[in-house]
């Protein structure tokens, strides 16, 4: 075991893939000479050269779609978007090309591409740079969407994503890059589509993903102080979605709270809450509790911005309101 | 078949533009890629895709090229390097760049040809990919089929840059840019040959603009109210399906009897394709759920 950051975990995964498979190459805006906007690809151009670490023009539709083209030709591109917010510019290539070309060709083609992007808000980048569209992509058949919360999961999921023969949206919450965690020195994989119980408990199930897990783990600590034993389930991927692990936990604890850091209306948390209610209502002591970001654009000013982002206290309050514990 | 209800959805006919697909694709190597737009039947047949399976695809049958899941606008055959049939205008450019990049990455002499219409030149992807391809010197042939109309809008109603598109290629650093009569199959063939030679010798992308015209409406749903019949007639007089055989006769390369034999063999091929499609069953229900993930 070695303690490394989320960022180092990702870089390790990229280096391994570049070492292991000549068909793997990276491309994106300023991932080479600049070393990457979030420094995930730092030093890689020097080591692997410009054919395998390709700086692109600021043309998201062009280079995301080029990733699809290279992937259907049998290469394994790992494409970086500088922000998940910028994926909208390339969303036609993601939704209409990457996700559809296999189906529309009757299974003749496959798209082994990973699309990495920093995502989320909380660092005063204002409304257009603080969004998490992985939630949207999670509703598109043909895509996989992974949302790691720890360095361990980031590395294990990146390995699985690069080996996957389907287009994978790899969402990296930017608040996590500097977080630290233990990672085994030996190779391991985290399968896509398997949720993880990050903390066991008996009184309530807290469901979330990515940076939401940081908030839920802190909330679980706080709840323990008042004698409430919370179980934290980390979805780890939004598509495929492991509802079995969630349901198993909910039916054990009899209470559920879903944290979605993004917009509440038609958000991914709504899907989880609906599914829990549909499948496990007989086991629940009350309605499924929901905490989500406010239905607002993300403002620049720090106090205003923080008002819109779910805090530990929101989780505690919501549990008390819903279940009286 | 469309009017009989066997083919549904959108159907965009290539009638009038045949000389382009035939002339251009005749110059490709087996390992070259082709990417095209939704008016894709001509390119598919010119590349040698099985007409039976193409027709079955239009009929939505299981023996179609894409098992009936793609339809008329989305023909694919990976064995022929035919990577679609794409129905979002301009959506095919980035894909073509990636296919070309795969050839470059593997140090192959392969090329990707991307066919597109004048309508797609107003999409951002056109400009993005022209730039990307030039910066990376990708082995890609941009082949503009300028049929003057993007659906019902004549090019000069949606473009202030004049009637010629090919001079614009130079502004991206694409030096090999040519214009050709798209109604002349031999001219298209020659222009393509020169462009491919340039690309294969490592000069990066090339650009060809073929002037052409679609004799039918945009799709079967189009009543063609936006242009005069006389304009169509002017172009129909230059129909390559008439002019080319006439040239062959004039040059004594073929006899009337030989041409008649070719025509009847084509008729037989079409009839056989329709029969094949009619005999093919619709896809079984479970096909709804397959081919989503590899």
The ipTM is 0.96
Instruction: Tell me whether residues A67 and B69 touch, CB distance under 8 A.
Output: no
Q: Which residue of A has its CA nearest to B84?
A: A105
A48 CB near a chain B CB, below 8 Å? no
Q: Which residue of A has its CA nearest to B32?
A: A73
Name every residue whose Cβ is closer than 8 Å to that of residue B169 and which is 6 or more positions away in sequence: B130, B142, B177, B207
pLDDT of residue A57: 98
Q: In CATH terms, are A2-183 and A196-323 the same topology?
A: yes
Instruction: Tell me whether residues B88 and A165 touch, CB distance under 8 A.
Output: no
CB A32 within 8 A of CB A54: yes
pLDDT of residue A10: 98
Instruction: Tell me whether residues B69 and A102 touch, CB distance under 8 A.
Output: no
Which residue in this structure is represented by tokens 């109210």? B225
pLDDT tens figures, B224-243: 899 999 999 999 999 999 99
CA distance A309 to chain B (A): 35
String of b and e for B27-66 (b: at least 16 CB within 10 Å)?
A: bbeeebbbbbbbbbbbbbbbbebbbbbbbbbbbbbbbbbb
- Which of A57, A73, A103 is the closest to B131 by Cβ? A57
Per-residue confidence band for B6, with pLDDT thresholds at 50, 70 and 90:
confident
- Could you tell me the CA-to-CA distances from B101 to A27, A77, B133, B239 in Å, in that order? 12, 11, 9, 36
CB B89 within 8 A of CB B120: yes
Whether A53 shows a pLDDT value over 90: the answer reads yes
CA B124, distance to chain mean position in Å, is 20
Instruction: Tell me whether residues A141 and B292 touch, CB distance under 8 A.
Output: yes
Average pLDDT, chain B: 96
Q: Which residues pair with A197 in a beta bridge?
A: A233
How many Cβ atoms are within 10 Å of B230's Cβ, its own excluded?
7
Per-residue confidence band for A267, with pLDDT thresholds at 50, 70 and 90:
very high
- Order the strands of the A76-80 sheet from edge to edge: A53-55, A24-28, A76-80, A114-119, A168-173, A144-146, A237-239
What is the length of chain A?
Answer: 325
In this prediction, residues B143-149 reach a mean pLDDT of: 96
CB B41 within 8 A of CB B70: no
- Could you tell me the CA-to-CA distances from A103 to A302, B20, B79 in Å, in that order? 45, 29, 17
Using DSSP's 3-state secondary structure scheme, residue A3 falls into strand
pLDDT of residue B8: 86
Residues in chain A with CB shorter than 8 Å from the CB of B64 are: 106
pLDDT tens figures, B21-70: 999 999 999 999 999 999 999 999 999 999 999 999 999 999 999 999 99
Per domain, the residue ranges of chain A are: 2-183, 196-323
Q: Which residue of B has its CA nearest to A98?
A: B95
Whether B3 shows a pLDDT value over 90: the answer reads no
Whether B5 shows a pLDDT value over 90: the answer reads no
Name every residue whose Cβ is closer than 8 Å to that of residue B225 and which is 6 or more positions away in sequence: B152
pLDDT tens figures, A95-145: 999 999 999 999 999 999 999 999 999 999 999 999 999 999 999 999 999
Q: Which residue of A has its CA nearest to B102?
A: A70
Q: pLDDT over 90 for what percent of chain B?
A: 93
Per-residue confidence band for B7, with pLDDT thresholds at 50, 70 and 90:
confident
Mutate to test the interface with A, among B95, B108, B126, B280 (most CBs of A within 10 A): B95
A66 CB near a chain B CB, below 8 Å? yes
CB A103 within 8 A of CB B291: yes
* Helix ranges (DSSP H) in chain B: 18-25, 41-46, 51-58, 92-105, 124-135, 155-158, 185-198, 229-236, 240-250, 256-279
Per-residue confidence band for B221, with pLDDT thresholds at 50, 70 and 90:
confident
Instruction: Tell me whether residues B132 and A101 touch, CB distance under 8 A.
Output: no
Name every residue whose Cβ is closer than 8 Å to that of residue A282 and which is 6 or more positions away in sequence: none
Name the token pair of A59: 């043309």
Could you tell me the domains of chain B?
A: 18-289 (3.40.50.970)
Give the phi and the psi of residue A197 in degrees, each rounded to 5.
-85, 110
* Helix ranges (DSSP H) in chain A: 6-20, 44-48, 60-72, 91-92, 101-104, 134-137, 151-163, 211-225, 243-253, 268-280, 302-307, 312-323
Name the token pair of B151: 């659906």
Chain B residues with at least one Cβ partner in A under 8 Å: 33, 35, 64-70, 74, 76-78, 83-86, 88, 91, 93-103, 105, 112, 124-125, 128-129, 131-132, 135-136, 290-294
Instruction: Tell me whether residues A103 and B88 touch, CB distance under 8 A.
Output: no
Q: What is the H or E stretch that residue A144 is in? A: strand A144-146
Which residues of A are known catalytic residues? 60, 129
pLDDT of residue A259: 98
Mutate to test the interface with A, among B70, B92, B98, B101 (most CBs of A within 10 A): B98
In this prediction, residues A206-210 reach a mean pLDDT of: 98
CATH of A2-183, picked from 3.40.50.970, 3.30.565.10, 1.20.1250.20, 3.40.50.1820, is 3.40.50.970
Whether B4 shows a pLDDT value over 90: the answer reads no
In this prediction, residues B129-147 reach a mean pLDDT of: 98
Per-residue confidence band for A165, with pLDDT thresholds at 50, 70 and 90:
very high
pTM for the model stands at 0.96
Per-residue confidence band for B218, with pLDDT thresholds at 50, 70 and 90:
confident
Name the token pair of A214: 């940081």
pLDDT of residue A175: 97
- Order the strands of the B112-117 sheet from edge to edge: B82-85, B33-36, B112-117, B140-146, B206-211, B176-181
A69 CB near a chain B CB, below 8 Å? yes
What phi-psi label fits residue A122: left (phi over 0), alpha (psi between -120 and 50 degrees) or beta? Answer: left
Instruction: Tell me whether residues A67 and B98 touch, CB distance under 8 A.
Output: yes
- Could you tell me the CA-to-CA distances from B292 to A104, A191, A192, B67 in Å, in that order? 9, 19, 16, 13
CB B12 within 8 A of CB B147: no
In this prediction, residues A264-268 reach a mean pLDDT of: 96
Whether B169 shows a pLDDT value over 90: the answer reads yes
Name every residue whose Cβ is closer than 8 Å to that of residue B216 and which is 6 or more positions away in sequence: B13, B15, B16, B222, B224
pLDDT of residue A52: 98
DSSP state of A150: S
Average pLDDT, chain A: 97
Name every residue whose Cβ is closer than 8 Å to that of residue B36 and which is 6 or more positions away in sequence: B43, B84, B85, B86, B92, B114, B115, B116
CA distance A161 to chain B (A): 13
Residues in chain A with CB shorter than 8 Å from the CB of B103 are: 73
pLDDT of residue B158: 95
Whether B2 shows a pLDDT value over 90: the answer reads no
CA distance A60 to chain B (A): 9
Mutate to test the interface with B, among A27, A69, A167 (most CBs of B within 10 A): A69
Name the token pair of B134: 């030039």
A141 CB near a chain B CB, below 8 Å? yes
Is 3.40.50.620 the CATH classification of the domain at A196-323?
no
| CA within 13 Å, CB half, A204 | 31
Whether B220 shows a pLDDT value over 90: the answer reads no
Nearest to A87 by CA among A167, A21, A10, A16: A167
Give the whole-angstrom CA distance, residue A126 versus residue A302. 10
Q: pLDDT over 70 for what percent of chain A?
A: 100
Give the whole-angstrom CA distance, residue A304 versus residue A268. 24
pLDDT of residue B219: 87
Examine residue A240 and say whether the peptide bond preceding it is cis (omega within 30 degrees of 0): yes
């Amino acid at each position: 075991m070695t303690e490394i950051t989320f960022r180092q975990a990702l870089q390790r995964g990229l280096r391994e893939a570049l070492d292991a498979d000549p068909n793997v190459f990276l491309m994106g805006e300023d991932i080479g000479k600049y070393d990457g906007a979030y420094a995930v690809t730092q030093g890689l151009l020097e080591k692997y050269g410009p054919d395998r670490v390709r700086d692109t023009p600021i043309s998201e539709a062009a280079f995301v779609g080029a990733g699809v083209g290279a992937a259907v030709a049998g290469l394994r591109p790992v494409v970086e978007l500088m922000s998940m917010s910028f994926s909208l510019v390339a969303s036609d290539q993601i939704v209409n090309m990457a996700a559809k070309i296999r189906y529309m060709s009757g299974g003749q083609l496959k798209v082994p591409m990973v699309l990495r992007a920093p995502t989320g808000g909380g660092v005063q980048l204002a409304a257009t740079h603080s969004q998490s569209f992985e939630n949207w992509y999670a509703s598109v058949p043909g895509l996989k969407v992974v949302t790691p919360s720890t360095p361990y999961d980031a590395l294990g999921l990146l390995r699985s994503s690069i080996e996957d023969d389907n287009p994978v949206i790899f969402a990296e919450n930017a608040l996590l890059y500097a977080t630290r965690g233990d990672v085994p020195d030996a190779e391991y994989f985290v399968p896509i589509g398997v949720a993880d119980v990050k903390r066991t408990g008996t009184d309530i199930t807290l469901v979330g993903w990515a940076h939401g897990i940081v908030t839920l783990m802190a909330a679980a600590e706080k709840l323990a102080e008042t004698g409430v034993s919370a179980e934290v389930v980390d979805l780890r991927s939004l598509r495929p979605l492991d509802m079995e692990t969630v349901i198993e936990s909910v039916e054990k604890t009899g209470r559920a709270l879903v944290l979605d850091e993004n917009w509440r209306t038609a958000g991914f948390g709504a899907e989880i809450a609906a599914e829990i209610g549909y499948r496990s209502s007989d086991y629940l002591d009350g309605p499924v509790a929901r905490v989500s970001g406010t239905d607002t654009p993300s403002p620049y000013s720090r106090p205003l911005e923080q008002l819109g982002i779910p805090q530990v206290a929101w989780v505690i309050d919501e549990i008390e309101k819903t279940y009286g514990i | 078949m469309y009017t009989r209800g066997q083919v549904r959805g959108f159907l965009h006919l290539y009638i009038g533009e045949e000389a382009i697909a035939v002339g251009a694709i005749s110059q490709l190597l087996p390992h070259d890629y082709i990417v095209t737009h939704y008016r894709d039947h001509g390119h598919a047949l010119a590349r040698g895709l099985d007409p039976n399976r193409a027709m079955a695809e239009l009929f939505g049958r299981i023996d179609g090229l894409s098992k009936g899941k793609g339809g008329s606008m989305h023909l694919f055959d990976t064995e022929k390097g035919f990577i679609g049939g794409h129905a979002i205008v301009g959506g095919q450019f980035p894909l073509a760049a990636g296919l070309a990049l795969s050839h470059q990455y593997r140090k192959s002499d392969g090329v990707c040809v991307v066919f597109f219409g004048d309508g797609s030149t107003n999409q951002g992807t056109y400009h993005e990919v022209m730039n990307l391809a030039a910066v990376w010197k990708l082995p890609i042939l941009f082949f503009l089929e300028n049929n003057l109309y993007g659906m019902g809008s004549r090019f000069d109603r949606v473009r202030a840059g004049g009637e010629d598109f090919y001079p614009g290629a130079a502004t991206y650093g694409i030096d090999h840019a040519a214009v050709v009569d798209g109604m002349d199959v031999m001219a298209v063939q020659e222009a393509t040959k020169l462009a491919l030679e340039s690309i294969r010798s490592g000069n990066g992308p090339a650009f060809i603009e073929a002037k052409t015209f679609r004799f039918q409406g945009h799709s079967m749903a189009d009543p063609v109210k936006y242009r005069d019949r006389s304009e169509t007639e002017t172009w129909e007089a230059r129909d390559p399906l008439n002019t080319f055989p006439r040239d062959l006769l004039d040059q004594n390369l073929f006899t009337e009897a030989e041409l008649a034999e070719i025509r009847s063999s084509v008729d037989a091929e079409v009839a056989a394709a329709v029969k094949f499609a009619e005999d093919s069953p619709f896809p079984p229900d479970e096909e709804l759920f397959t081919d989503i993930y590899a």
